Amino acid sequence: MNQVMNVDLYGASLADVDGNKYVSLYIGQQVIDEKEESAKGIVVMKLPCDPAVYDSLRFPKYPVQVELQCRLKKAAGGRLGQHCVSVKPLSTSTNKAAAPAV
């Protein structure tokens, strides 16, 4: 099952541990209700993704508005986990200079 999300992408990281690649995207959203979320400004979240997604990121600057395709997976404790399988830029006036990503 896949889920599509429109988010602000702030960056990505790649770690190579004993030949295994672990990749994460850093996405964020504006805080809407400071009392409910116990936060101010932007909340940044980490999302695992495929190494091919990391390799495809070619944006000239960050943050950038993107559309993420995420596969839903079972995570620890039977919880729902998300794993990004593709990223593409949203076609907005601020993203016209962004190069397409897979």
Q: Where are the domains of the chain?
A: 2-95
| Beta bridge pairs of residue 44 | 28
Backbone angles phi, psi at 34, to 5 degrees: -60, -40
User: Is a pLDDT exceeding 70 seen at residue 94?
Assistant: no
pLDDT band at 86 (very low <50, low <70, confident <90, very high): very high
Give the domain 2-95 fold.
OB fold (Dihydrolipoamide Acetyltransferase, E2P) (2.40.50)
Distance CA 83, CA 29 (A): 18
Distance CA 85, CA 51 (A): 9
Tokens 């009392």, residue?
A: 35
Residue 76 DSSP code: G
- The whole-chain average pLDDT of the chain stands at 89
Residue 100 has a pLDDT of: 47
pLDDT tens-digit map of 19-51: 999 999 999 999 999 998 899 999 999 999 999
At position 84, the amino acid (one-letter code) is: C
pLDDT band at 92 (very low <50, low <70, confident <90, very high): low
